[in-house]
Structure 1
Amino acid sequence: MKVLILYASYGDGHLQASRALRDAFQRRDVQVHMLDLFAEAHPLLNKFTKFLYIKSFTVLPSVYGWIYNVTKRMKHDTAFAEILHSFGTKKLQQMIERYDPDLVINTFPMQGICKLNETAGIRIPTYNVITDFDLHHRWVHPDIHKYYVATEDLKGQVEQLGVPASRIEVTGIPLKEAFNRTEHSSSSLGKMQAAASPEVQQTFGLDTGKRTLLLMAGAHGVMQGLQHLCAQLDRLADDVQVALVCGNNKFLCQQMRRAFANYPNIHVYGYVEEIHKLMSISTCIVTKPGGITLSESLSSALPILIYRPVPGQEQENASYLESKGAALISHKPKELCRQIKTLLQDPQILSEMREAIQALHKPNSSESIVSDIIHTTLTNQQPDYVFRLAKGDHRIESFS
């Protein structure tokens, strides 16, 4: 069996999800090729749009949110959607002819393979792995064989568009295998204390006698107001230390290290490959609400504090987890500090958050997805329906 995984490098989540699936397939001796389709097909355009995407977090984030919300209920056969589907199809056809995959997986809402079904008669089983807790209609297309989603609520949203329940699996968002081996001690949860390994703490240069607040600035380090925020967090309590992860933003990392060189409770890191280890020794996490990071936090049983979510999928992810009681949202440093103090001091609130986290967590997500895809493909299960969009609404109807 040969698998082609299509992803996009807007943020780090889609790449991380793709790698997790690749590794799970390879543990079963399945050949996998990963393709950043936009980067390969349109390198200059991809570079420009990535720049705009990253800047959207700091410059007029409301514009990105407006675009996201305006297109959220876009039908797959509208003129604009057809343009989006067509990006990279020439390169995709070349890759299909070169690698001859038995199936295609999308970890980014691109439907190039569906376009090739229409224009070139190329029909390959195609699976969509949705990497957020919110549904954008770009994920849904008549030619998709199956969908893998994070929650039952998200499954319900896909079903409302007319996709049969048998074609939607609630697996969670795919995470790397290391998260399946990382556990928090249940006896320590009530004390808001992670099952901290002194060896791991020492590896990261952390004080073994203090609780750790993990602060994630995002893959590109775009969280705003970090220096002021860290200064506020430094004054939380004597027994609390901050582990700031700046991602791939080397300039931010250097800047923060200079600013907090004389602050023993502020520890600054760049990109952390073994983030599961750092999560395993942390007490709670302050983060941007990307789907992967949120799922990693759920897997690590970490109370989640979401800071300044930007409009779009971030805000939708944040609002969903908040509605389930698994996260708290704040927009100002003082508000965030109050929330953290409450968690540190109120075991009842902590217990309720832990229960909500447990309810949302889906273990072994990558293995579940890969197992189902292999089974579905080998048994040659084909969609028992044809999609059409109902006139006057955004629903997809099925008929025989």
Structure 2
Amino acid sequence: MNSKSPKIMVLYASYGDGHYQASKAIEASFHQKGIHHVILLDLMAMAHPVINGLTKFVYMQSFRTLPAVYGWVYNITKDMQPDTPFSNILHSFGMRKLAQMITDHEPDLIIHTFPQLVMPKLMKKTGLSLPLVNIVTDFDLHGRWIHPEVDRYYVATEDLRNEAVSRGIPEHRVLASGIPIKPDFEQTHEPDPRFTSKLDSRKKTVLLMAGAYGVMQGIRDMIQPLVDSEEFQVIAACGKNTELQRILQEQYGDRPNFQVFGFVNEVARLMQTCDCIITKPGGITLSESLASRLPMFLYRPVPGQELNNALYLESKGIASVAYTPSALVHQVKELFAAEDNLLQRQERIELLRRPNSADVIVNDILEQWFSTEETPVSVTADAELAPMGAI
């Protein structure tokens, strides 16, 4: 065990916002425990800014124009092995920059919130030895996350833990921690007038979140029947898509049961204001919705990890998947038509919630690798943990 205050390096990527948000949640938990030397590194952006910009563009366009192609590539590579030539290429970008950052910051442990596993190759090349941790940020497990040199895996659910073990990861290296989200999702907030001032307490409030970049398709087709109904009111969060926000404001801004916002920082407060959510099935948003106990309606999930996320939550009875606006509106109305429907959905949500996931992960890391009198730690999770000496 190491008695000094640890230095932690978190490697993420800016494809969407989820990996960064998970990294910030882990950083906040370390800070809360008095550990302030935490470096967040967007490795591809720093090492290869041109390639990073190009791949981000292709990634975003694949969601809009070629989702089937993206899903095909994701699925045919899902079982990829870490020693294949393709894996070696994917996990080699940024090695020189990472070596430089490790020299500069001398971290004691590396955390990945994105499956760009440069470290195993770098350690083999240089003889460096550091503990490696993977935090899987979806409800689905792609082969890119799996590598024999990774010491610890934190996953969303027991089902995903069992899948990881079935794919060859030693059982004692995998903890069903949940996906880390900001700590304010575990707090009860006072109503925020910015969100509540126009709300009618007699109506159910539907939150429509278009993602960080506002790329969810068919938004206007979803909003129209909901705001035309006497039962519902809609709050739309458009992320960084200012054009979408402008269009929705022009089209529905004069409706008393509609509000529109751009990028919202106070997502926990916003979610606690609402009765259900329509959203893209990204791992972080789904985890935030679970923490907020919101029934989920997932519209036209993109093939790949988002579709797999959606199908998993649907199989657990806590999310509904729709491919047309009319089907989605029918699902929303059906949920609130009978109290038993809603109670059953909420009971299933409670079974899958993983409160305080970031703290569970950080506590486990500290217990496995670091011990200080100033930083008492405890592990709260369902999985039995083995000492690092057994790993």
Partner of 1:388: none
Q: CA deviation at 1:228?
A: 2.0
TM-score by length of 1: 0.90
Matches for 1:221-300 after TM superposition, within 5 Å: 221-236=214-229, 238-300=230-292
Structure 2 counterpart of 1:320, which letter?
Answer: Y
Out of 22, 25, 30, the residue aligned to residue 25 of structure 1 is 30
Q: Partners of 1:384 and 1:98 in 2: how far apart? A: 31
Q: Which runs of 5+ in 1 are unaligned?
A: 184-196, 386-400
Structure 1 counterpart of 2:34, which letter?
Answer: D
Partner of 1:220: 213
Q: Does the CA-based 8 Å contact 2:67-2:302 persist in structure 1?
A: yes
Secondary structure (helix, strand or coil) at the match of 1:234 reads: helix
Secondary structure (helix, strand or coil) at the match of 2:64 reads: coil
Secondary structure (helix, strand or coil) at the match of 1:53 reads: helix
Q: CA deviation at 1:330?
A: 0.3
Q: Say whether residues 1:176 and 2:168 are aligned partners.
A: no
Q: Partners of 2:296 and 2:125 in 1: how far apart? A: 45
Structure 1 counterpart of 2:13, which letter?
Answer: A
Q: Does the CA-based 8 Å contact 1:201-1:208 persist in structure 2?
A: no
Q: CA deviation at 1:211?
A: 2.4
Q: Say whether residues 1:137 and 2:143 are aligned partners.
A: yes
Q: CA deviation at 1:261?
A: 2.3
Q: Does the CA-based 8 Å contact 1:102-1:125 persist in structure 2?
A: yes
- Once the two structures are aligned, what percentage of the paired residues are identical? 46
Partner of 1:108: 114
Cα deviations by residue, 1:246-291 (Å, 9 ceiling, x for unpaired):
0111221122112222222121110110110011010100111000
Q: Say whether residues 1:3 and 2:11 are aligned partners.
A: no
Out of 43, 58, 65, the residue aligned to residue 71 of structure 2 is 65
Q: Does the CA-based 8 Å contact 1:201-1:281 persist in structure 2?
A: no
Q: Partners of 1:171 and 1:222 in 2: how far apart? A: 29
Q: Does the CA-based 8 Å contact 2:195-2:270 persist in structure 1?
A: no
Cα deviations by residue, 1:190-213 (Å, 9 ceiling, x for unpaired):
xxxxxxx6x425545432423210
Secondary structure (helix, strand or coil) at the match of 1:95 reads: helix
Partner of 1:83: 89
Structure 1 counterpart of 2:90, which letter?
Answer: L
Secondary structure (helix, strand or coil) at the match of 1:57 reads: helix
Secondary structure (helix, strand or coil) at the match of 1:76 reads: coil
Matches for 1:27-42 after TM superposition, within 5 Å: 27-30=32-35, 31-42=37-48
Q: Partners of 1:63 and 1:383 in 2: how far apart? A: 44
Cα deviations by residue, 1:141-166 (Å, 9 ceiling, x for unpaired):
01101000110000011101222221
Structure 1 pair 233/344, CA: closer, same or farther in 2 (3 Å)?
Answer: same
Q: Partners of 1:202 and 1:254 in 2: how far apart? A: 18
TM-score by length of 2: 0.92
Structure 1 pair 312/234, CA: closer, same or farther in 2 (3 Å)?
Answer: same
Secondary structure (helix, strand or coil) at the match of 1:34 reads: strand
Q: Partners of 1:206 and 1:21 in 2: how far apart? A: 35
Q: CA deviation at 1:384?
A: 4.3
Q: Partners of 1:249 and 1:383 in 2: how far apart? A: 49
Q: Partners of 2:95 and 2:338 in 1: how far apart? A: 54
Cα deviations by residue, 1:64-115 (Å, 9 ceiling, x for unpaired):
0011001100000000000011011111110000000000000001111111
Q: Say whether residues 1:344 and 2:336 are aligned partners.
A: yes
Q: Partners of 1:356 and 1:225 in 2: how far apart? A: 28
Q: Partners of 1:346 and 1:305 in 2: how far apart? A: 17
Q: Partners of 2:194 and 2:85 in 1: how far apart? A: 56
Partner of 2:311: 319
Structure 1 pair 322/121, CA: closer, same or farther in 2 (3 Å)?
Answer: same
Structure 1 pair 41/381, CA: closer, same or farther in 2 (3 Å)?
Answer: farther
Secondary structure (helix, strand or coil) at the match of 1:268 reads: strand
Partner of 2:367: 375
Structure 1 counterpart of 2:9, which letter?
Answer: L
Q: CA deviation at 1:123?
A: 1.4
Partner of 2:374: none
Structure 1 counterpart of 2:168, which letter?
Answer: G
Q: Which runs of 5+ in 2 are unaligned?
A: 1-5, 372-385
